[in-house]
Each structure stands twice: as structure tokens, then as C-alpha cells.
Amino acid sequence: MNVLVYLLPMALGLGLTGLAAFMWTLRSGQYDDLDGAAVRVLGDDDLGSPAP
């Protein structure tokens, strides 16, 4: 039972830290362009380079 005295605040602290990090990523615009990376992968940027 004494373990709960340590584990409960640690779990709440880690949960709040994760929530704060998620909120920070929302405010900094990390999720604004969801389709950009998917389209960027399909582009052929290496068309001009010679074959090895």
C-alpha cells in the first residue's frame, strides 16, 4: 500500500507531462499539414542524378 504513495504521483506527473507536450505540439502547428509528407514521399527528386 505504501507503494501507491510513490506510484500515483509519478503516474499523474508523467501523464500531465505527456499532455503538456501534446498541447505544445498542437500550439506550435505540428499537425497543420497532414497531407504534405504523404505527397512529398511520392515525388521523384533524384531524376537528374546519374545511375551508379
Q: Above 60 in pLDDT, residue 5?
A: yes
- Burial code (b: 16+ CB inside 10 Å, e: under 16) for 24-49 equals eeeeeeeeeeeeeeeeeeeeeeeeee
Q: Above 70 in pLDDT, residue 49?
A: no
2 alpha-carbon distance from chain centroid: 35
Q: Above 80 in pLDDT, residue 52?
A: no
Domain residue limits, the chain: 1-27
How much is the pTM? 0.63
Return the pLDDT at 36: 81
pLDDT tens per residue, range 11-37: 999 999 999 999 999 999 988 888 887
Return the pLDDT at 45: 67
